[in-house]
Amino acid sequence: MHESSKSKRHFSPWELSVLSGKVIDIGAGADTVMPHAIPFDVAHGNANHITEFAPGSFDCVYSSHCLEHMDDPTQTIHNWWSLVKPGGYLFLIVPDEDLYEQGVWPSRFSNEHTHTFTISKKQSWSPKSLNLFDLCRTLESGTIRTLVLNDIGYDRSIGFHGGSSTNPFYIHLRKLYRSLKKRHIIGRSVRFERWIARKVGWDQLDGPALAQIEVIVQKSG
């Protein structure tokens, strides 16, 4: 999925200005956020701990939907922060646990997710939840410039949180989906998977809707 392209359509002029200068896009895949950004993905090294660049190498370290795949996001975010030069920015986008995972862990949408993220709440349903606000506050010499929940286009009326739905039809579909996923069968029938996704509202995660948290932290000069 081209998450950066989806998000970039809604970036403000200020957010776009943050992406000027020398930029690294961690987890870019084939969807680099800016044409001049340096992509960093599996082919370039280990994003858990990037050692290919000297500290303070970039005006902006950008990453969309990658931190949730890291072994230890707390350690990783500090490593990425070290790459930001004084006066520069760390620009992160991660899935919101309530909008994306929807009360289910392990994630039904990606078995590669190691953690879920929230902005700030006293207690989470997820055993692997990280508070992005608290996490960013641990970054030395960092000031959070913006921290928002972006749910543009997300239809909450068709979302399901965990097993809260009492409709037997949807309960059966969710159980069937999990069973097929566990047995590695569902991936063999894309049409069937998409049919189930449409029926229970999961398809919006593959469409234009956003279900994520966006944060920009600036390093003091």
pLDDT at 53: 97
Domain encompassing residue 190? 160-200
Q: 150 - beta bridge partners?
A: 212
Do 59 and 125 lie in a common domain? yes
174: confidence class by pLDDT, cuts 50, 70, 90: low
Do 75 and 110 lie in a common domain? yes
Do 196 and 215 lie in a common domain? no
If one counts the domains in the chain, the total is 2
Q: In a 10 Å sphere around its CB, with 0-12 CB exposed, 13-18 middle and 19+ buried, how is residue 86 labelled? A: exposed
- Answer whether residue 192 shows pLDDT above 90: no
Do 172 and 85 lie in a common domain? no
- Answer whether residue 81 shows pLDDT above 80: yes
Do 177 and 73 lie in a common domain? no
Each residue's pLDDT tens digit, 104-141: 888 877 889 999 999 988 899 999 999 999 999 999 99
Stronger pLDDT, 5 or 156, i.e. the higher one: 5
